[in-house]
Amino acid sequence: MNILSDLRKGLKTPKIYLPILLLLVCLLIPLFGISPYFIHVLAVTFFYISYSSSWNLLAYSGQASFGHAAFLGIGGYVTTIFTIQTSIPWLGLLLGALVSAFAGILVGLTCVRLREWFLALVTLGFSIIMVALTIELHWLTGGVYGLAVPSLLPSVNHYYYGMLALTVFLVFIIYLITKSKIGLAFVAIRENESEAKATGIDVTKYKLLAFTMSAFFAGLIGAFYAHFISYINYQIFHLDYSFWPIIISVIGGIATIEGPIIGSSLMFCIIEFLRVIRPLVETIDPVIKLNYPKIQVLLMGIILVVVVIKMPKGISPWLRKYLISISK
């Protein structure tokens, strides 16, 4: 087993201690009597880490989805409807992931033949179809009013640990995938698709596999997220949910394991910072007070533009280069 020996080797290098330290801090945080609001924010950050990681796995194979919210929402709705109908807890999570993976196969079947913007449009279109479907099938989905999602866990602290466990699990699984033979094939397809084909790689199979796995993970995390926020409606398919994983991955580093972690953490630092300084800024001008949410979005946009210009591959590759340059 190559992976195991790699891990053993990894334990001897200092690189592995950073994630372990980070994990320890995350495990201990709720014990310090921090406000439930902040715990909630951190849990949402974990959600975006794992959700963006699922998107990033697809990017790892050189494909991009502009409608990943479709898979997130399918996971969420399936677990909600299943749990309400049967009162069986937890099983819905797996069911949501499986149905989402199945949707991933269907979308993937059309998408593996497409490239770049065609692929982007089909995935985007799929998420918009899901909005129409959930509104029209109101006997099942509650229509525009949505559904209250039965809770699985008693407190926000429990959800915090649940989200943390799920995130660590997903990131680790995705890490293993990228280090395996499958990951190697994904990189080959991303780097040079026609060449990968000539080498004898079944390109269609691997692209479809990437789609299915990505949809499975997005569905799983979407299912748990639905229970966590305890309410679901068609807005889960909204563009916001499709574009956040893209923005986060682009900022953190597309097709890297740590990219979504860095991206999510940074974005939520910024959002929280903008929230904290809100009372200060609002005293400047009543126009600002009225339009503060829009100004938040504007600031995020500016940060995104700056990152893309200054670090076109995202923060993580830039950081790696920087660390290597100072260690010399």
Partner 1 sequence: MLDIDSVGASYGNVQILWNVSLSVKKGEIVTVLGPNGAGKTTLVKTILGLLHASSGSIEFLGKRIDGLPTYRIVDMGIALVPEGREIFPRMTVHENLLLGAQSKEAKKTKDDSLERIFQIFPVLKERRKQLAQTLSGGEQQMLAIARGLMSKPKLLIMDEPSLGLAPILVQKIFKAMQEINEKGVTILLVEQNVHRALEIASRGYIIEAGKMVLAGEWDELLANEHVKKAYLGL
For position 187 contacting partner 1 by CB under 8 A, the verdict is yes
Restricting to residues 203-242, name those near partner 1 by CB under 8 A: 203-204
Considering only the stretches 197-205, 207-215, 218-226, 305-313, report the one whose residues sit in contact with partner 1 under the rule CB under 8 A: 197-205
The count of residues interacting with partner 1 (CB under 8 A) is 18
Of 140, 156, 174, 153, nearest to 249 (Cα)? 174
For position 201 contacting partner 1 by CB under 8 A, the verdict is yes
Among 15, 181, 310, 328, binds partner 1 (CB under 8 A): 181
Q: C-beta of 189: minimal distance to partner 1 in Å?
A: 10
SS3 label, residue 261: helix
Q: How far apart are CA 173 and CA 183, in angstroms?
A: 12
Residue with tokens 């860095």: 262
CB 98 within 8 A of CB 219: yes
Q: C-beta of 200: minimal distance to partner 1 in Å?
A: 3
Written in H, E and C, the secondary structure of 294-313 is HHHHHHHHHHHHHHHHHCCC
User: Which CB atom, from 110 or from 204, has the smaller least distance to partner 1?
Assistant: 204
CB 144 within 8 A of CB 133: no
Among 191, 240, 272, 285, binds partner 1 (CB under 8 A): 191
User: Which CB atom, from 40 or from 197, has the smaller least distance to partner 1?
Assistant: 197
- What type of residue sits at position 11? L
Of 207, 218, 216, 242, nearest to 114 (Cα)? 207
Among 86, 110, 199, 230, binds partner 1 (CB under 8 A): 199
Q: Which helix (H) or strand (E) holds 215?
A: helix 203-229
Of 213, 209, 225, nearest to 92 (Cα)? 225
For position 324 contacting partner 1 by CB under 8 A, the verdict is no
For position 58 contacting partner 1 by CB under 8 A, the verdict is no
CB 248 within 8 A of CB 268: no
Residue 168 burial (CB count, 10 A): 17
Considering only the stretches 148-156, 196-204, 231-239, 280-288, report the one whose residues sit in contact with partner 1 under the rule CB under 8 A: 196-204
For position 119 contacting partner 1 by CB under 8 A, the verdict is no
Q: C-beta of 206: minimal distance to partner 1 in Å?
A: 10
Q: C-beta of 192: minimal distance to partner 1 in Å?
A: 6
Considering only the stretches 43-51, 52-60, 120-128, 194-202, report the one whose residues sit in contact with partner 1 under the rule CB under 8 A: 194-202
Q: C-beta of 182: minimal distance to partner 1 in Å?
A: 12
Residue 110 burial (CB count, 10 A): 13
Of 268, 272, 316, 261, nearest to 49 (Cα)? 261
Residues of this chain that interact with partner 1 (CB under 8 A) are: 181, 184-185, 187-188, 191-192, 194-204
